[in-house]
Amino acid sequence: SQDYDLIVASSAPEAMNILEQGDKPHLILLDIMMPGTDGLQMCRNLKARRDLQHIPIIFITALSDSESEEKGFEAGAVDYIHKPIRLPAVRARVRTHISLNGMLDHITALNQALNEQLEQLNNSDQYNRNLFERVFMATSEGIILLDANNTIIAVNAAFSRITGYSEKDVLNASYAHLSKDTDTPLSLDSIRAYLADHDHWSGELHSRRKSGELYPELRTISTIRSHNNEITHYVIVFNDISSVKETEQRLEELKWRDPVTGLSNRALFLNQLGTVLKFCNRGKVSTAVLVIDINNFRYINDTYGFKCGDQVIREFAKRLSNAIFVDDSIARLSGDDFSIVLAPKRWTIDDAYRVVLALYGRIQNSLAEPIQNEYSPDLRLEVTVGAALYPTESSNSPSSALQHAETAHRSAKTANRPIAIFEDSMSDQIRHQLKIESELNRALEQDQLVLFAQPQFSPDRVLCALEILIRWDHPERGLLGPGEFIPHAENSRQIVKIERWVLRKTLEKMSALHCINPTIQCAVNISIKHFAEDDFVEAVERALTNSGFPAELLILELTESVSADNLDKVVQKMKDIRSLGCSFSLDDFGTGYSSLSRLQRLPISEVKIDRSFVLSAPDEPMAANIVEMVVRIGETMGVRVVAEGVETHVHADFLASRHPHVYLQGYFFGVPQPIDVFLEAPDVNVFPE
């Protein structure tokens, strides 16, 4: 839209109405899948109209099979753009076809003007003859004048520049001799027959220069007739379109090739996969499809920039290519996602498993050496692989075979495993995951999520804070606890949407409670995925500003695993949040594997003893020792210690006698309740009777 004026229509009738009323566009982008009249039929309708048939049409489609493309070209399209759309490629294709069409319009107009001037030449004075000759020779397009017998009677300077033939080489020669090497599906006789009825022909063809070089040409031929309507001359105007064709070739490569690695893209890979699967069906042989990605690749892009990311992708592609055999195929699907299809062999299922595992081993070996580049320290890559064997009962197409590999890959990611091989049960799991994701989207849209809160007490048992929890008021299954949907949300970006909703709604509610109890704090759980978002700091600041809730009363709860990533970056982001006035709590302390040396760098104000240790502490010496250790660590770090899981008076008495300075939270002091309960009765007695 920066380069062209765009007019958008949502259906074929609307588009035709626009074309009838306004100026004609230079180019039409047409989706094949449209409501009512589809894109193919609309293209045929446009090409049947004399006033619209000259407009180039480019199809935009998610269909990648060759049959669909053939139908499109038969309908009159000049090109295809496959979804997902890459704007730079779209702009380049649009620019090329508008340029080519403009060139054709130009030489057609020039041909017509020459035609008119030649018809008037016999009646012109010498001055006009000389003027015409100067224009004829100065025109940048090649021009050939033929008599009725196809004898060349004149050429201009551009003809010689383009073809390499001098005027002397071709004057009085037969045009048929000059065109004997022309590469066009129409013979010269066919063109002459067409001109006898229509007086004008245009098209692309390949001609040979005097040197023998073949080059692409855009050509128009028009007739000049006498007063008794007999053809007396032919006017040929042509242009060398080598540069345009080179651009088209580059665009064609972009259509099927990944621009960063030069590997096949998703569209070409599906075609290649289709060929392999057909061979498997005919020959009763087997293959395997793999999907591979780089673990934490986003961290590389975020930390070192996209130039570094592209260098890593190129080197990774090279190493993957070296790990496969020459008959195997590899593609970059998107981002850091790659796919491999193995050359078909007469394998048993056990053979195929072994081959996949052997390839995984070669991939691992190829990554043993760190990747070196100019934008970052040496990088050691780890990958996750999903594989699917073919044929299977549930896989009968390229898309389903690839989908099964992607399902296995997703299963491996969820289970934190390096590789998984597809099993039919995975489809059920993924379908369930997608169902939950869809229902969660609806829950966010329809306010089905509900805020709960559990009170937290100071050592002298005064209400001091609320930990915010979430429930889902499911329209069919009733009130669901977080364990039934949060893990599904964490497998997608939905956890970010949910936690931002929680943060926004919590601060709105707490702002109202603050007017009644100005000292009560609130604690909100933040996942690692949410914390890693680039705009996390801005999101917290925006929620605080919009609600008016004091930042110093907001506690953000993180888990130990936050320190597993780039520690410097994590610490800086935490400091940015603290500069707003907020504080941090480290949840489930003692359950992770982070070293104390890493944890002590985190700017936290509180640690929470995991409830499993508190529950067991009165009866199990090991759990009691862990509770004591966490309390001492908290005291050493100078932070508040909160004991979760205080379920009975036994737990409360144990902590009161052994650790009297610990803050308390659990069912003994208060069960989670809707947050509105605390708004309605902020001093409610939450102690059990």
CA distance 506 to 234: 82
The two three-digit tokens of residue 659, written as one number? 């650790």
Q: What is the pLDDT of residue 138?
A: 61
Q: Coil, strand, or helix at residue 235?
A: strand
Q: Measure the CA–CA gap between 459 and 224, rounded to whole angstroms.
A: 105
Question: How far apart, in whole angstroms, are the C-alpha atoms of residue 103 and residue 113?
Answer: 15
Helices vs strands, H then E, count in the chain:
26, 25
Q: What is the pLDDT of residues 132-159, one digit of tens each?
A: 565 566 678 888 989 888 899 888 889 9
| Whether 394 contacts 424, CB under 8 Å | yes
pLDDT at 133: 60
Name residue, tokens 């995951």. 433
What residue type is assigned to position 591 of the chain? T
Which regions of the chain are under pLDDT 50?
Answer: 1, 125-128, 131, 185, 593, 685-689
Residue-wise pLDDT tens digits, 83-101: 766 676 677 778 777 776 6
Strand partners, 220: 202, 237
Determine the Cα angle at 602 with ends 643 and 458, to 5°: 25
User: How many other CB atoms are found less than 10 A from the CB of residue 199?
Assistant: 14
Nearest to 29 by CA among 68, 82, 100: 82
Query: Any idea what the Cα angle at residue 47 is, between residues 43 and 52, rounded to 5°?
Result: 105
- What is the model's pLDDT at position 689? 37
Beta strands 554-559 and 583-589 are: parallel
Compute the Cα dihedral for 670, 671, 672, 677 and give only its sign.
negative
Residue with tokens 């009968």: 396
**pLDDT for 285:** 81
Q: What is the pLDDT of residue 641?
A: 95
- Entry field: residues in the chain: 689
Q: Is the dihedral of CA 129, 133, 135, 136 positive or negative?
A: positive
Q: Tell me how far apart the 2 most distant CA atoms of the chain are, in Å.
A: 122
Beta strand ranges found along 211-326 (DSSP E): 214-225, 231-240, 287-294
CA 283/CA 58 separation, integer angstroms? 38
- Output phi, psi for 183, to 5 deg: -95, 90
DSSP string, 400-461: HHHHHHHHHHHHHHHTT-SEEE--HHHHHHHHHHHHHHHHHHHHHHTT-EEEEEEEEE-TT-
> Cα separations (Å) of 581 from 11, 560, 569?
53, 22, 19
Domains defined along the chain, listed by start:
12-85 (3.40.50.2300), 103-246 (3.30.450.20), 257-422 (3.30.70.270), 437-680 (3.20.20.450)
- 528: which residues sit within 8 A by CB, 6+ positions away? 558, 559, 561, 562, 565
pTM beyond cutoff 0.75: no
CA atoms within 13 A on the CB side of 577: 30
CA nearest to 641, candidates 681, 614, 668:
614
